[in-house]
Homo-oligomer: A and B are copies of this chain.
C-alpha cells in the first residue's frame, strides 16, 4: 500500500494496473463477449490515458484500501483465465501485437515494483531489508561478486574511441519495440570516446570529498538550484553517520567500503552531469551510446574484449537482437527525450504511452539490475526528469 514518493506506486496498484492493461487493450477489444470483472476498475486503474477514461490523481493510489488485495488477486485470476481463452482462439495480428505490448508493459512494472520497494523501505524509519526471492533481482549477488573481480582488476577506467560519421539509430526489423524507438533514421556522429564501465561508488565518493556538492561551477544552473533547495549532499540512498557513508540497497544498509567498486546508482541527471564535468569529461548522447551498444562498425574498431562493456559488472544480457548490453544501471545520456524525425505515436489511446512525455525529460539507455533481462535492448529509450533519483540510474562517461 505504500507510495513513498511522487514517482512511486503501491505494489497492489502495480498488480491491478498491469492486469487492467490486458483487460482494457486486449480482452475488451478482441475477446467477444468479455465481461468486465468490476465496472469501476476500467477508470480506477487507468494510469494516465486521457482518451480512455477519467482517472484518479496519481497521489491517491495509496488510498485504495478498497479493493483489498484479495479482490485484486481475483481480478488477475479472472483476466488470466480470459487471456488463456483468447489465446486458444488464434487471435488476430493486432491482438497479438497488443499482447506483446502488454507483456512489455508488465516487465516495466516488474522493474518499477522493485524500484518503488527500495524507496518505500528507505522512507520507512526502520529501513527494513528486502529479502531476495524469485528471479527479479537474482543478479544482485553476482553483481557484487563481479565487483570483487573489478576490485582485483583494479579500478582504472578506459575510454574506447569511435570515429563517428553517418550512423543510424532506432529500431529496425520485426521484433518488438516501443513507438518511441522508431523510425530508424540517420544521425551524424562526430568522433567520440566512451568509458568501458560505469562510474563507481568509490569514484563518486571522491567527487563528494572534493566538495562536488558545494561548487556551483560544476553544475547546470537548474541542478545547482536543486542542490540548494533539496539540500543534496550525496546520491539518494546515501546517508552519513559519524563521518562515514552508508548506501541503502535492496539488501539493506551497506557501508560504502563494501560497495566502493559497485556502480554508483540513484543519481539525478544533474549529478551525473556535474560529476562528468568534475572528471573532465561529459555524458554520451543517446546516439553515441546506441551506436556502441549495437556494435555497429562505426569506426572499424570493435571492442576487442569480445563483449561490449566488460567491467565492473560480470553480466552480459543477451537481447532479442543478439546484441549484448550491460545492465547494472540505466545510463543518463545528454540527449533530451524527443521524437525521432518522422516519429508517429501508436494509433488511438495507446499513442499516449510514450509520446506525450516528450518534454522536460532526458533519455537513459541500457537497463539496470532490476530490469528483466529480456527487456533490455540497444534501441530502448527510457526517460525521466533531470532531477529524478529514485531510479537505478548511473553514469557512463564520454568525451
Contacts and interface: CB of A to CB of B under 8 A. Distances in A.
Contacts of A220: 356-359
Interface in A103-123: 120-121, 123
A50 B216 contact: yes
Contacts of A305: none
A359 B66 contact: no
Contacts of A2: 1, 62-63, 65
Nearest to A11: B65
Contacts of A44: 125-126
B190 A188 contact: no
A185 interface: yes
Contacts of A128: 65-66
A280 interface: no
Nearest to A386: B359
A91 interface: no
Nearest to A282: B339
A204 interface: no
Contacts of A123: 60, 63
Given A166-B188, A386-B359, A217 B50 contact: yes
A40 interface: yes
Nearest to A56: B125
A399 to B, nearest CB: 10
Contacts of A221: 48, 356-357, 359
Interface in A248-296: 269-270, 273, 285
Nearest to A165: B186
A360 interface: yes
Nearest to A186: B188
Interface in A217-231: 217, 219-224
Given A186-B188, A217-B50, A64 B124 contact: yes
Interface residues of A, number: 58
A198 to B, nearest CB: 21
A187 B188 contact: yes
Contact of A338 (B166, B336, B339): B336
Contacts of A358: 220
A243 interface: no
Contact of A1 (B62, B186, B352): B62
A303 to B, nearest CB: 22
Contacts of A63: 2, 4, 120, 123-124
Given A1-B1, A1-B65, A222-B360, A342 B120 contact: no
A391 to B, nearest CB: 17
A51 interface: yes
A11 to B, nearest CB: 9
A341 interface: yes
A334 interface: yes
A62 B65 contact: no
A67 interface: yes
Contacts of A285: 341
A166 B186 CA distance: 10
8 contacts: A43-B125, A51-B217, A65-B124, A66-B128, A186-B188, A186-B190, A220-B358, A360-B360
Q: What 5 A-B pairs are tightest by C-beta distance, nearest first?
A: A336-B336, A50-B216, A1-B1, A190-B341, A66-B128
Interface of A: 1-4, 40, 43-44, 48, 50-51, 56, 60, 62-67, 120-121, 123-126, 128, 166, 185-188, 190, 216-217, 219-224, 269-270, 273, 285, 334-336, 338-339, 341-342, 352, 356-360, 362, 386
Given A1-B2, A2-B65, A65-B124, 19 more contacts: A2-B63, A51-B216, A56-B125, A63-B120, A64-B125, A65-B120, A65-B128, A166-B188, A219-B356, A220-B357, A220-B358, A221-B357, A221-B359, A224-B356, A273-B359, A285-B341, A335-B338, A359-B362, A360-B386
